[in-house]
Structure 1
Amino acid sequence: MILFGASGHAKVILDIINSGTGDTVDYILDDNSEIFELAGFEIDHTVDRNILQKIDTIVAIGDNKIRKHICLKYRIKLHQALIHKTATVSKAAFVSKGSVVMAGAVISHSANVGENSIINSNAIIEHDVSIAKFAHVSPGAIVTGAVSIGEGSHIGAGASIIPGISIGKWVTIGAGAVVLKDIPDYAVVVGNPGRIIKYNKN
């Protein structure tokens, strides 16, 4: 397996693997020539599209837009989801390829996590939640039952979303925000109760 990205997010993904997933990292790739080493791995700076299309890869980059850009640019062959051994994932939930589930996270019955998404440490994803691709649910966030989260949206650390809410695509929910109503595409939400303060650029 290849890890594409040698940032702090990659370190946490290595922790997932070291928790006992049975996966092996062949090498870590990063196009930043100023990064030479990560957790004992020498960083490869040669981005070979053909290799990335043939060998299972996890894009180990926390920024949702950059992660999407790399996946589409190189048409990456995605590795199966990586799930930390201390995470609790229902047998009736589904986590798509390229996604990562960090330590202590909970994903409940009938939840669905799309490709290349991040469920971070101690996040809670309750029953019947739908999370689209390239999303990120940050540490300690609580997504209650039957919530839908659109492509590329970022749920901040410690945020809470009440049941049945619809979050649009490329939304940013600030840390600690409490979301009580549906949120349109590209909105930036902060506070308790959550309020829209601006819109992200498309």
Structure 2
Amino acid sequence: MAKKVVIIGASGHGKVVADIVIQSGDQVVGFLDDNPNLGKDFIGFPVLGKIDQFHNYEEYWFVVAIGNALIREKIVTQLYGIRWYTAIHPAATVSDIGVFIGEGTVIMANAVINAGSFIGKHCIINTGAVVEHDNRIEDFVHVSVGVKLAGTVHIGKRTWIGIGASVSNNLSICFDCMIGAGAVIVNNIEEPGTYVGVPAKRKNVNEDTIFS
């Protein structure tokens, strides 16, 4: 039976998540969003109200379509007693051997999740990203478009890996890191912060210029 899904976040990311829901044979009920400038509908689906009205739709499934990990985590902790929808695009490749994907996670088209990998709750594995064998990705991580994670990589909670970045095998990146677009990680990262370049080094920079 098709699942009926409420999407939190009426934005560009929300559009992609809606498409995954539809492509998976499920139904988009509508969106919840706190943006006061939204109209009554978004991409042809109703805007059901603000996020704190979630309790009016508890019979449905929910997914958070917001890229920012801190905001995503805050919303998840506020929404209690609901069912989380895990959105996996039919065009994603997910191994049948020892893969775990946590609730509320979104895996987009052409992403690859190879054998033995663990993906935590409410993560984003974006379009065309490669998660090689035996990776461990903690909750609320965002792996951006075209990222390549080699084998046995560990990504800490709430870390964002920017577009096209690469992480060499057998490395760990700690929690609350921002990895810049195109960065190449060749050493363990043990301190939260922003890392850019080839090879990546810690920088004090305006994150908006790196990850937007």
TM range (shorter): over 0.9
Q: Which residue of 2 aligns with 1:195?
A: 201
Correspondence 1:41-190 to 2 at 5 A: 41-46=45-50, 47-51=52-56, 55-75=60-80, 77-92=82-97, 93-190=99-196
Pairwise CA distance, 1:55: 3.3
Pairwise CA distance, 1:74: 2.3
Q: Could you say if the C-alpha distance between residues 113 and 76 of structure 1 is closer, same or farther in structure 2, counting changes exceeding 3 Å?
A: farther
Q: Taking structure 1 as the reference length, what is the TM-score of the superposition?
A: 0.92
Aligned mates of 1:59, 1:185 — CA distance in 2? 28
Q: Which residue of 1 aligns with 2:9?
A: 5
Pairwise CA distance, 1:31: 1.5
User: How much is the aligned-residue C-alpha RMSD, in angstroms?
Assistant: 1.8
Larger deviation, residues 45-54 vs 173-182: 45-54
Unpaired stretches in structure 2, ≥5 consecutive residues? 207-212
2:27 to 17, 24, 43: 24
State the secondary structure of the residue aligned to 1:26. strand
Pairwise CA distance, 1:199: 9.0
Over the matched positions of the two proteins, sequence identity in percent amounts to 38
Is the Cα–Cα contact under 8 Å of residues 30 and 47 in structure 2 kept in the other structure? yes
Q: Taking structure 2 as the reference length, what is the TM-score of the superposition?
A: 0.88
Pairwise CA distance, 1:120: 0.1
Aligned pair count reads: 199
Is the Cα–Cα contact under 8 Å of residues 5 and 29 in structure 1 kept in the other structure? yes
Aligned mates of 1:167, 1:124 — CA distance in 2? 16
Is the Cα–Cα contact under 8 Å of residues 33 and 45 in structure 1 kept in the other structure? no
